[in-house]
Amino acid sequence: MNNFKEMMNTLESLKKILLIEKDALIHDDGGVLESIIEEKTKKLDELNLLDMNNIDINENMRKLFAEVIELQKTNQMLTEQALSYEKNIMESIAKVLSKGNTYKKNGLEKNDLSTFIDQTV
């Protein structure tokens, strides 16, 4: 198979993987994400091995490259958003747990853990 066909096939496969990844990120499906990481890495390695100097890049390939790049940017943004959300949750939980117990006139008063969500939006 020539480099052009290999490149197009690899880009098409990568696009499909990125679409699956995007859907998994949106639906917070860690199992799917975990299962496609190796496949995505393999396709990226395949792209790196292809000799770009011997490929006549046409409009279809440019379009496919643009789609893959855009999907990757979207997935990166979704990943950063999910990580930020998780970090905020963990910080909120840590803040409540670090308050500890307090003493009042009637003795020890335990913190109400149901108040750990910041409701000052």
- Contact criterion met (CB below 8 Å) for 88 and 95: no
Sheet strands (E) in 63-106: 102-104
| pTM of the shown model | 0.73
Phi and psi for 45 in degrees, rounded to 5?
Answer: -65, -40
pLDDT in tens, 90-113: 888 777 777 655 556 666 555 555
Per-residue pLDDT at 1? 47
Sheet strands (E) in the chain: 102-104, 107-109
The residue extents of the domains of the chain are 3-115
Per-residue pLDDT at 24? 94
pLDDT in tens, 9-56: 999 999 999 999 999 999 989 899 999 999 999 999 998 888 777 778
The yes or no reply on domain 3-115 and CATH 1.10.10 is: no
pLDDT in tens, 59-96: 999 999 999 999 999 999 999 998 888 888 888 877 77
